[in-house]
Amino acid sequence: MSELFDAVDALIASRATLPPPVERKRLRAAHGLTIDEVATALKVRRATVSGWESGKTEPRPPERDAYARLLKQLAELYPAPEQPAAPVPAAFNGTPVPAEAPTRATGPAPEAAAMAVHQNTQTPAPVAASPAAASRPAPATRPSATSRRPGAKKAAPAGTPAGGTDPRFENGPLAVVDVDDDGQVLAYCTGGLVLDVPAKSIPALVDWTLKEARLGQPKLSGPGKEADPLLVLTAAALERYGLPVKLSDEERLAGRLPEGHKVAKQLARAEWKLTKRGFGPWARIYRPAQGSERACVQLCIPSWDALDTRHWNGAAELPPAELARLLGTYAARVITPRGSTAVTGLELMTAFHPATRASAPDADGRRHSEHNPGGLGKDPVDCAPCEAPDGHPLLADLPRFHQRTPAEMLMEEAYDWARPLTDDECMRRNLVGIDVNMAFAAGANGLLVGLGAPTHLKAPAFDPKLPGSWLVDLSHVDLSRVKSGKDWVQLDGELLPSPFTPKGTRPEGPAWYATPTVAYAVELGYDVAPLEAYVRYDNGRYLDAWYGRLRDAYLATMADLGVAADLPPQEFLAAMDGYRRRDPEMAIVVSAIKATVKGGIGKLRERPRGEGWKPGQPWRALSRPTWRPDIRAAVISRTRVNMHRKILKHAAFTGQYPVAILSDCAVYAVDGTSPLDFLPYREGKPLPGGWKLGVNPGLVKHEGTQTVLWGEGVREQHGGDLNLARYIKDGTITHTDGGE
């Protein structure tokens, strides 16, 4: 009889009801689970779970019953939010408001459409960009009170995503606060909406923002938190609220206003607090959280150099409406800015993987804070001694002025390598540079990194799936004979950089390397025998969602600029020609996205920044759980290895070798002027495993072309060690010190 019952149960399970694919993905992400974790629990492949979430396939018994049980329990923990009714297109006296006219709304709850927030979870999907997304609103100036109709509401102009569904944030993630010619304070929101601001002081402005402005951004992951509203204050707004338009030299050096400034005193009297960085270019004003309710507003002050011109170009000089469009697009596609692009890049990591999450209800129905699997935890962990930069407290016992060797220090850095041209290369006409798109982001994709503290091992067997740092001698690896798949290939090793050192020189003995570097030596066909290692058994693909979000943002913005994914090579090169001129504001967004990638990775090993620091003492960044030099080293190692792998494939197939490499740029001596003159495309298809033209991260674009005569001339004039890849873009030699 029990066998019959089991058969009946199996029959019922085979028809178990499942939520739609989108809901399956939402439930998994809400609990902070990765696809790999679900696949492991159900004993299926990762691609199988991915197919269930995309709707390409449906689970079959016996996995279907277990999967249904998992989703049912998650649905009880994370019920689907109620969907508000679709907004009715607003009109003025029955006539739709023109899209190019700013909308001014009064009262505490404007109903205009807001910037949508593309909410990614663990595996973000590509953002589809429509042709209309490349269009720009009419150039904005300070509108007078009579040029807008009070109470009018309109749809968002072309180029701005449609409104979100959370009524708390219906006016978008941010607003640019300005003063018009009539003296009225206005808040320019995304989507062309303009709000009247009644606040007469900074404390009142904070209160208005939290109670009436309806600004902010939904959280990116289940255990995460919503983004605080961001106010960008123009020079006119600073004057209105009693703040200086420019910081004095002393204030700029300190990075903030003095604590005794009248506005700081106003905030203190109103019981508002400032973070440790004080009232500076990126000020955070808050009150301690009451339960789950947060009360925090972020200020951005462009005239105090909040928007670094290296990454935001001339964004600080834009009119309010255009600045709101630019920053709103970045916020919708990446995250609301929370400081420099480096700070924002780091915040994006923790937005997807917070340190803690709410537990399941206990016997009394209460939830508690618990560790969030896949996150880095609440407390910082010590790095391994070899991973510590000079001056770290772990190295306090070293003699003064001691120079650490590769056998004492992990030195995973990007390429800076160049060599003299051969006689044959000197006979070529040109030097053509190709640049890898979003190289460090591509290096982070799918990378296993440590999540916890390291474990020290002596003479371990190398495990390519175990993140960590390994002391191993790779000097025996001969680049003139390497393995490609199952076959050995012969190359000119003298013309190739070593994949194991940033300068491309061959190692001379044991040195510390991150896991991807040692794994590459094994891939090339050579045995490795580590002497010791610091490995991390607690590990995961911590950067996958971070990469996916930034990849989607980059591709969507490039599509706005007329450079779509999957273009044929010739069309791609044509689309890239002058793409920044098509929409200078969206071009700034592209630069900011790239800076978010590099800055976020760099922030993982932030060095002391003044603070009265002395070698051997801790500095402020060490108190962050996200101070993880091992993760930075792994990303850079993977990026450099990815580049070297393509160089080898290209050399083995074509006999062409690079003459210079700088980070993500490689230069070849060729007869033509275009990458298509030396990249081996056949019937539109690239060399498998080699360079491929395209906009996607990891693919390459044309960096620049100069003549061989130019290259030989500048090397003769400025020294043979000059890296031509640094200047290939426009040929201008700005310095010769070898640094950037």
- Same domain for 289 and 225: yes
- Same domain for 51 and 181: no
How distant, in Å, are the alpha carbons of 584, 586, 662, 702 from that of 581? 6, 10, 26, 17
Closest CA to 517 of 635, 616, 615: 635
CA distance 537 to 393: 24
Domain assignment present for 132:
yes
- pLDDT band at 8; cut points 50, 70, 90: low
- Same domain for 104 and 58: no
Single residue among 524, 540, 556 that ends a domain in this structure: 540
Average pLDDT over all residues of the chain: 85
At 315 the three-state DSSP class reads helix
- Same domain for 310 and 255: yes
- Same domain for 113 and 12: no
Whether 79 shows a pLDDT value over 80: the answer reads yes
- pLDDT band at 57; cut points 50, 70, 90: confident
Bridge partner list, 253: none
CA distance 154 to 98: 8
Average pLDDT over residues 464-491: 94
Single residue among 520, 540, 560 that ends a domain in this structure: 540
Average pLDDT over residues 50-67: 83
Name residue, tokens 């809901």: 23
CA distance 127 to 548: 10
Average pLDDT over residues 404-415: 96
pLDDT for 358 equals 79
CA distance 617 to 602: 21
Domain assignment present for 575:
no
State residue 408 phi and psi, 5-degree precision.
-115, -15
Domain assignment present for 133:
yes
- Same domain for 107 and 53: no
**How many domains is the chain partitioned into structurally?**
3
Find the domain containing 454 and state its range: 385-412+445-540
**Residue 311 · residue 298 · CB < 8 Å:** no
Closest CA to 703 of 589, 576, 585, 596: 576
**Residue 601 · residue 625 · CB < 8 Å:** no
Domain assignment present for 648:
no
Per DSSP bridges, beta strands 430-436 and 665-670 are antiparallel
For the chain, percent of residues with pLDDT exceeding 70: 85
Domain assignment present for 167:
yes
The pLDDT tens digits for 516-556 are 999 999 999 999 999 999 999 999 999 999 999 999 999 99
Whether 297 shows a pLDDT value over 50: the answer reads yes
Domain assignment present for 276:
yes
- Same domain for 198 and 311: yes
Name residue, tokens 């001698």: 473
- pLDDT band at 94; cut points 50, 70, 90: very low
- Same domain for 67 and 177: no
Whether 32 shows a pLDDT value over 90: the answer reads no
pLDDT for 412 equals 96
Rounded-to-10 torsion of CA 119, 121, 126, 127: 0
- Same domain for 112 and 70: no
CA distance 29 to 23: 10
Q: For residue 401, is it left (φ>0), alpha (ψ between -120 and 50) or beta?
A: left
pLDDT for 372 equals 87
Average pLDDT over residues 589-608: 96
Average pLDDT over residues 476-483: 94
Domain assignment present for 567:
no
pLDDT for 131 equals 32
Where is average pLDDT lowest: 178-187, 229-238, 350-359? Answer: 350-359
Whether 109 shows a pLDDT value over 70: the answer reads no
Single residue among 45, 77, 109 that ends a domain in this structure: 77
Domain assignment present for 684:
no
Whether 84 shows a pLDDT value over 80: the answer reads no
What's the CATH code of the domain at 34? 1.10.260
DSSP state of 677: G
- Same domain for 277 and 402: no
- Same domain for 191 and 61: no
- Both tokens of 475, joined, read 């000097």
pTM exceeds cut of 0.75: yes
Tell the burial category of 689 from Cβ atoms under 10 Å away from its Cβ (0-12, 13-18, 19+): middle
The pLDDT tens digits for 664-712 are 999 999 999 999 999 998 877 899 999 999 999 999 999 999 999 999 9
- Same domain for 186 and 49: no
